[in-house]
Amino acid sequence: MNQAGAPVPVHVYRPVGALIMACLSGASLIIIVAVIAFALPEGVRGSFTIAQDATLVLILGTALAVLYGIGRTQVRTDGRGLHVVNGFRRHDVSWPEAVTVSLGRGAPWAVLDTADGDTVQLMGIQRSDGARAVRAVREVRASIATHGSPAGDVT
């Protein structure tokens, strides 16, 4: 709820290019592995040991886990603050803690500056998304200005 008692809208920002890349790469990897596995002659498939099979499954699982981490990257804003998911790490920053968001020239993604001097990488807002990323940074800045306390006035 905002100060007037109305619910604050939730906004979710995701990197479109990274999400598409993660989904397509994961699907392609699964299809390629399946095609290769079934295309091998029976004698070759039967010659793999359990350890070799386990190693291949572990490598496939690790690659899919990395792609899943890339795909779940997001920045969400709501009435409580910013909720950032970068791969498998989560950062929750309340509005009074948030100072500003920047998307520096040549930077791959936006950065959130906090009142205690720390920074949080906002991998959900990536420069590769172009105008969409610039718009997302402006919207997050506006939310900080609306909900946050003035810089240096953190209680």
Closest CA to 3 of 83, 75, 95, 76: 95
Q: Give the pLDDT confidence score for residue 9 in this predicted structure.
A: 82
Boundaries of every domain in the chain: 16-71, 73-147
Residue 77 corresponds to which amino acid?
Answer: T
Q: Report the alpha-carbon distance of residue 7 to residue 1 in Å, rounded.
A: 4
At the topology level, CATH places domain 73-147 in PH-domain like (2.30.29)
Q: Give the pLDDT confidence score for residue 147 in this predicted structure.
A: 85
* 98 DSSP β-pair partners: 114
Q: Give the pLDDT confidence score for residue 152 in this predicted structure.
A: 45
Q: Give the pLDDT confidence score for residue 54 in this predicted structure.
A: 95
Contact call for residues 37 and 45 (beta carbons, < 8 A)? yes
Low-confidence residues of the chain: pLDDT under 70: 1-7, 149-155
Burial (Cβ within 10 Å: 0-12, 13-18, ≥19) of residue 39: exposed
Q: Give the pLDDT confidence score for residue 33 in this predicted structure.
A: 93
Q: Give the pLDDT confidence score for residue 114 in this predicted structure.
A: 94
β-pairing, 119-126 vs 89-94, is unpaired
Q: Give the pLDDT confidence score for residue 155 in this predicted structure.
A: 37
Q: Give the pLDDT confidence score for residue 122 in this predicted structure.
A: 96
Q: Give the pLDDT confidence score for residue 45 in this predicted structure.
A: 85
Number of H helices, E strands in the chain: 4, 7
